[in-house]
Structure 1
Amino acid sequence: MADGPGAGQPEGWPPAKPPRWPQPAGQSIGGASPQQPPSKKRRGRRFLWGCSGAAVFLIALIVIIAVASSGGNKASPPASPGSLSPTSGSTEQIKPAKAAPTPIPPIKLSGTGQQATSRFTVAEGLAVFRSTCSACKTNFIVTLLDSSGQTKDLLVNAIGTYNGSKGVGMSAGSYRLTIQADSAWTITITQPRHQAAVSLPHTYSGKGDRIVGPFTANHAATLRGTHRGKANFIVTVLDAKGDLQNLPFNQVGNFNGSTVTQMISGGPYYLNVTADGTWTLKLSKP
């Protein structure tokens, strides 16, 4: 073997150096990345991402709070039209108005001359008897009888033609009429209920027998009356049931006077007038 460098070394020594492959930028040979300070551009991006994340979290928190608040104030379902007040919009239910009572149908009787009518039935309370005899020349008398045939009231006692009315307080039951006349006659029986009453002051006027009303008063009223006639001028006060309350006037012939009439029961009230001439009745507060 020859002396000199490489003497005594095996063949192929020194080993050949590995080839140098191109390396990616910023990476050293051997795979280790050099430690370099982060650039200002990367620090800016990290700051923006941090701010964005905080903003997203804040928005999500606001949305959650809003949803929770709206859940406690859920809108009520629309109310039915009948449950709302037409003026205030309140959800308080309006009680349905009570239906008006059915009017009692009138009872109509007719005949000629002296008659006893068939029986008829009335309800308890006020009944109004309207009688006419347009061609009578002598007595025209109408008497009300109860179910046993006893006289309940004298409705008409006139001579000659007649057209008038009278109110009577009735018990529920069966009744009939006896009529004395010399011509054709008609009688209509009505039973007024829940009539609208006028307030005081108020004036009524008419001719002959009449029932007028109803009117309201607080158990008393000033009554001024006039009458132009020759026979009785009698005024009585009835309550809504037809019960007698007072007799303010009981005169004969012409009359002009006043009084304070007192009533026992509550109103409304009616006035029964018996007269043969024209009359006026002025009611006012006492």
Structure 2
Amino acid sequence: MRRRRYLAAGLGFGGMELAGSTLYSSTSVSARQDTDQTAESELITFTDAGSTVTDEFELEDGVTIVESSHDGDSNFIVDLVPATGDRAELLVNAIGAYTGATGLIAAEGQYLLDIDADGNWEIEIQQPQATDDDAESLPATLAGDTPDWAGPFQFDGLGEARGVHEGQGNFIVEILPQEASVFGLTFPELVFNEIDQFEGETTFSLDGIGYVIVDAAGPWEVELLSH
């Protein structure tokens, strides 16, 4: 399941009709490219079937990417549970077959996964640590039809985002910064938080390397621009 970086082939948005609005054409997005990050952490992989609690594993502070797949017909719910007993983080809440990704900023410590599933599943966890040479500069155009991630990208302060979503459900776009803030804390930069079909623009602000996380319920496209 290693993936994934979408690279813009151009800046223009084309015209695919979306319920009275315009879905940005995928012709402006090149094919998905598999990339080997020079500073990528080892993958943590779990593969099984049915409801399972995994063995404990260790995470470091920082960006954490989780990719999952499931071929069952019923619930597929994945919780990231700290071994300390602190509140779990819901990673996936889907029904039926699923392929997607999410991300979070983890705190250092021991964790386990609590999986509710009725089919075969696979989960892959990585904590990328990119260098400036690894990161792509803006502009970038991203597209997909499931929850996904992309990066690393180099951000330089104020930026502009344009987004389209044609699904029925959440459309949430965040940027996870690789480095902690000046106070030693790290928080995602929320770009979009919408429900159902959406088309619009907004601004965001981030300095340094970051990873884009998209939670979507249907075809989506996002363009990120330096201001």
Task: Give the alignment's TM-score, normalised by structure 1.
Answer: 0.61
Distance 2:226 2:61 in 1: 30
Distance 1:101 1:122 in 2: 19
Q: Which has the higher contact order (CA 8 A, sep 6+)?
A: 2
Paired position in structure 2 for 1:238: 176
- Offset, 1:102: 6.2
Relative to structure 1, the CA distance from residue 187 to residue 241 in structure 2 (aligned partners, 3 Å threshold; closer, same or farther) is farther
Distance 2:145 2:193 in 1: 16
Distance 1:233 1:198 in 2: 24
Matches within 5 A, 1:126-275: 126-133=63-70, 135-194=71-130, 196-241=134-179, 243-263=186-206, 266-275=207-216
What amino acid is aligned across from residue 215 of structure 1 in structure 2? F
- Asked if structure 1 preserves the Cα contact closer than 8 Å seen for 2:42 and 2:126, the reply is yes
* Residue in structure 2 matching 1:280, options 214, 221, 224: 221
Distance 1:241 1:108 in 2: 25
Cα deviation digits, residues 174-227 of structure 1 (max 9, x gap): 100100111111111111112511111111111211121221222221000011
What amino acid is aligned across from residue 118 of structure 1 in structure 2? D
What amino acid is aligned across from residue 156 of structure 1 in structure 2? V
Paired position in structure 1 for 2:47: 110
**Any gaps of 5 or more consecutive residues in structure 2?**
1-36, 181-185
- Asked if structure 2 preserves the Cα contact closer than 8 Å seen for 1:142 and 1:178, the reply is yes
Distance 2:198 2:174 in 1: 16
Task: Give the alignment's TM-score, normalised by structure 2.
Answer: 0.76
User: Which protein shows a greater Rg?
Assistant: 1
Distance 1:222 1:199 in 2: 14
What amino acid is aligned across from residue 181 of structure 1 in structure 2? A
Distance 1:220 1:239 in 2: 14
- Asked if structure 2 preserves the Cα contact closer than 8 Å seen for 1:169 and 1:241, the reply is no
What amino acid is aligned across from residue 117 of structure 1 in structure 2? T
- Offset, 1:152: 3.6
Paired position in structure 2 for 1:124: 61
Distance 1:229 1:180 in 2: 25
- Offset, 1:241: 4.5
- Asked if structure 1 preserves the Cα contact closer than 8 Å seen for 2:39 and 2:129, the reply is no
- Offset, 1:150: 2.7
RMSD: 1.9
More helix by share: 1
- Asked if structure 2 preserves the Cα contact closer than 8 Å seen for 1:236 and 1:244, the reply is no
- Asked if structure 2 preserves the Cα contact closer than 8 Å seen for 1:132 and 1:164, the reply is yes
Q: Count matched residues.
A: 184
Distance 2:158 2:39 in 1: 31
Relative to structure 1, the CA distance from residue 102 to residue 199 in structure 2 (aligned partners, 3 Å threshold; closer, same or farther) is closer
Name the % identity: 35
Distance 2:67 2:93 in 1: 13
- Offset, 1:283: 0.8
